[in-house]
């Protein structure tokens, strides 16, 4: 067990890793608010680069042409009103879009809400678009470039193997059976391999793990040290707990309109965050752990004798018989 299975004759080291990513893909949307619009990498990868992580926006709620001013708050139990006395000047809660002015103003023809100082019009995020805004995101691809190093053995390698040429890299897509070492992954296949449905996950977002395992036996040729990829969802979807599901955040794009007024487009972005997790260890023959494990094994033989004596002399039914055979009692010479 120690020497064959656990390779007790080897010195081991943990992997040191760096990861860079590149997403590719273009899609078209056509809505009444935006019209026909092309979305490319600069639009849906936010931010452009992160450490060991890439976020791809799959759904969004857009609030266009916001300007700072006075406007009615979204209606809810705390913001609906009938008279000005219902609104408290200066009041703000954690869910407010702005600071109340104390006025009660019409939100629409049938509802009045408290007026706020805010970016107007305020965002209405009660209804999430279904199906997802960027349905075609499942056909986008992500190139993962991973360099690893085992400092104790001064061994380094990357997941773009020496056998991969530029022609193959331009055309391959990862497949566990046909292309297990291709570093380009289709987003839909990553989610599918984790047992999830991409279109369902794209609506409210989520977090996926792309795991790269580098377990290497450096007593063998370096060509045998290759990455193994696996996938799983990190924010497990639980039908019994549906409060605040998925993954989303907000950001804004600022500009000045024709009147030189500061204006912004507010985006509530839903999407999938892909975390690239690299782990592994390498082993190589070394005389010191070999001698330590041999010594430990020999010591265990001595312990085994003691344990067997305890069992035979104190636990078994014929312990008195064994004791008579093991020990010989003699009379004291002086007596």
Residues annotated within a binding site for ATP:
22-24, 141, 248-250, 268
Contact status, residue 142 vs residue 38, Cβ threshold 8 Å = no
- 231 phi and psi angles, rounded to 5 deg: -140, 145
Contact status, residue 234 vs residue 208, Cβ threshold 8 Å = yes
Neighbours of 168 (CB within 10 A): 12
Structure tokens at 184: 């380009």
Q: CA–CA separation, 93 vs 107, rounded Å?
A: 19
β-pairing verdict for 27-31 and 112-120: unpaired
Which of 198, 275, 186 is closest to 237 using CA atoms? 198
Give CA separation, 144 vs 14, 109, 173, 215, 235, in Å. 21, 53, 12, 18, 22
Structure tokens at 128: 């999430």
Query: Residues at the annotated binding site?
Result: 22-24, 141, 248-250, 268
Give the H/E segment covering residue 278: strand 262-279
């Amino acid at each position: 067990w120690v020497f064959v299975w656990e390779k007790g004759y080897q010195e081991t080291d943990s992997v040191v890793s760096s990861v860079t990513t590149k997403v590719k893909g273009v899609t078209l949307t056509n809505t009444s608010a935006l019209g026909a619009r092309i979305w490319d990498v600069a639009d849906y990868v936010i931010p452009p680069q992160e450490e060991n992580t890439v976020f791809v926006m799959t759904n969004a709620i857009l609030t266009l042409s916001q300007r700072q001013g006075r406007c009615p708050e979204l209606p809810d139990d705390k913001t609906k009103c009938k008279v000005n006395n219902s609104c408290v000047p200066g009041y703000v809660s954690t869910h407010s879009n702005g600071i109340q002015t104390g006025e009660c103003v019409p939100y629409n023809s049938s509802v009045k809400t408290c007026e706020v100082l805010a970016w107007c019009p305020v965002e209405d995020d009660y209804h999430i678009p279904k199906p997802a805004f960027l349905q075609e995101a499942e056909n986008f691809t992500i190139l993962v470039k991973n360099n690893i190093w085992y400092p104790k053995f001064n061994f380094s390698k990357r997941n773009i193997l020496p056998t991969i040429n530029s022609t193959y890299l331009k055309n391959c897509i990862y497949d566990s059976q046909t292309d297990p070492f291709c570093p380009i992954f289709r987003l839909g296949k990553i989610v599918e391999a984790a047992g999830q449905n991409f279109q369902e996950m794209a609506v409210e977002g989520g977090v996926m793990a792309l795991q790269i395992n580098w377990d290497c036996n450096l007593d063998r040729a370096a060509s045998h040290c290759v990455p193994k990829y696996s996938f799983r969802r990190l924010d497990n979807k639980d039908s019994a707990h549906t409060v605040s599901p998925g993954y989303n955040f907000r950001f804004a794009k600022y500009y000045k309109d024709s009147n030189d007024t500061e204006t912004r487009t507010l985006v509530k972005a839903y999407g999938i965050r892909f975390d690239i997790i690299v782990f592994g260890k390498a082993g190589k023959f070394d005389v010191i752990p070999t001698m330590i494990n041999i010594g430990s094994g020999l010591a265990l033989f001595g312990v085994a004798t003691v344990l067997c004596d305890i069992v035979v002399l104190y636990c078994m039914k014929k312990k008195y018989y064994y004791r008579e055979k093991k020990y010989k009692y003699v009379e004291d010479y002086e007596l």
